[in-house]
Amino acid sequence: MKNPKMLTKIFACFLILGMISCESFVEIDPPNNTIITESIFESDATIESALANIYYKMREGGMVSGNFGLSIALGIYTDELEYYGNNNNQLNLYNHNVFANDITISSWWNHAYNIIYASNDIIEGIDNSTTLLPETKAQYKGQAFFVRAYMHSLLVALFGDIPYVSTTDHASNSKEIRMPVQKVYEHIIADLNNAITFLDSSDASKERVIPNQSAANALLSRMYLYTQKWEKAEETSSKLISTFTLETDVQKVFLKHASETIWQFKPEGKNIKNTQEGQILVINFVPTQGYGLSDSLLTAFETGDLRATNWINSITSTDGLTTIYYPYKYKETINTTANSLEYSIIFRLAEQYLIRAEARAHLGAISDAQNDLNTIRNRAGLNDIATTDAMALIDAIHQERRVELFTEHGHRWFDLNRIGRADEALRAIKPNWRPTNVLLPIPETELRLNPNLKPQNSGY
């Protein structure tokens, strides 16, 4: 391997420090008492363990986690969730009082880049392995390319121009400059196409918990949507729609064996049975543990929408004076069942129908776009959208995304941003809202460590 020193750094973070956060990605130094060599990349078992640790870190912390990741944080940042707690970091997001020294923002940045570094280390190490079979190398590299692309896709959507880190070279990475958004998306798309080349189409885990071609295509179609590559978005989402089956019953969508799930995280641990999302969002008492659905979201549902009756629940205080509505997509809290009933879903087929609908509407294929949109609406017990006006249809698709994908990995925020409606949606309900809030600040500590990351995003 080219750089055993960097290997030591990455695996020190992931295998030795466990849940303790690693330092900033520009400041990681190898511990003196760690003995890890190139041999880590000569065994299937050790590479699988390294990848498992990456997924563990993604599941347990940072932006992808159900434990105050984007599903919740961007829910309170937008118009999906109310926040009733007193945690200052969460209040800052809820009230749009985020500054460049915000601990949550800094932790997301550092966690994401540590995941990216670990992925880069796997890619480089596998390339230099002399014992792994070519087909084995391909599967592991494909997963690493996918993870690298996924983490960069979240970073660029939140921070705008960012470094695209594709090496473990410490000297180079400590001087990285921010790449323009469009260029970042080009690198993400290239990584995903590489991942698809390497990965199998089959589900080796049998539980859709290890990324395969389908997971990479799910992210790729989203990236084509975000970059307005309508033909490619339609083509890529169509591959998934022809491969997976939409759940016909909305009550089964978030169960661990749901037919439409493309990629999910499996809860693990001695006492962990179900999802962090369920643990945090399901309300068991009033005063609540923190979050409730906003009136803005509640009124977005049409009469008779089965998602409103099956994916939303409420609780009333004992005095009958207070009723709070909460997301009920995941219905089990962590330890309420003997066996896991629900896994944390990252990609599912309904999003792909809505991606294809939007792409087709932009391409002028109005009837086909209607069919995709109405597939999702009909499952929710709603009538067809009949408009043939392209812009009205696109607005209907955006509305459908809001009620289908609420509190799932920040979809609402990313949609408001990409269609230019964040200011329109939030200025009336967020007293501290400023148009510059469409981007989060680059962490202050990173700007001090690497001046090449300047200038700071506007408004901070």
Residue ranges and CATH numbers for the domains of the chain are 65-112+129-262+349-437 (1.25.40.390)
Whether residue 362 contacts residue 228, with contact meaning beta carbons closer than 8 Å, is answered with yes
Q: How confident is the model at residue 38 (pLDDT cuts 50, 70, 90)?
A: low
The separation between CA 265 and the C-alpha centre of its own chain, rounded to angstroms, equals 12
Q: Amino acid identity of 423?
A: D
Using alpha carbons, select from 3, 1, 4, 57 the residue that is nearest to residue 34: 4
pLDDT tens digits for range 128-156? 888 889 999 999 999 999 999 999 999 99
**Which stretches does DSSP call E strand in 187-260?**
none
Q: How confident is the model at residue 27 (pLDDT cuts 50, 70, 90)?
A: very low
Whether residue 440 contacts residue 457, with contact meaning beta carbons closer than 8 Å, is answered with yes
Q: Could you tell me how many helices (H) and strands (E) the chain has, helices first?
A: 19, 6
Inform me whether the pLDDT recorded for 270 exceeds 80: no
| Across 4-8, average pLDDT | 37
CB atoms within 10 A of CB 96: 14
In angstroms, what CA-CA distances link 21 with 18, 41, 57, 58, 114? 8, 24, 10, 12, 9
CB atoms within 10 A of CB 428: 11
Q: How confident is the model at residue 268 (pLDDT cuts 50, 70, 90)?
A: confident
The Cα–Cα gap between 101 and 128 comes to 39
Most confident segment among 31-35, 78-82, 85-89? 78-82
Inform me whether the pLDDT recorded for 2 exceeds 80: no
Q: Which two tokens stand for residue 77?
A: 């940042």
The pLDDT of residue 29: 36
| Across 187-216, average pLDDT | 97
- 287 exposure class (CB count in 10 Å sphere: 0-12, 13-18, 19+): exposed
| Across 416-429, average pLDDT | 97
pLDDT tens digits for range 328-380? 999 999 888 989 999 999 999 999 999 999 999 999 999 999 999 999 999 99
**What rounded mean pLDDT belongs to the chain?**
91
The separation between CA 128 and the C-alpha centre of its own chain, rounded to angstroms, equals 31
- 99 exposure class (CB count in 10 Å sphere: 0-12, 13-18, 19+): exposed
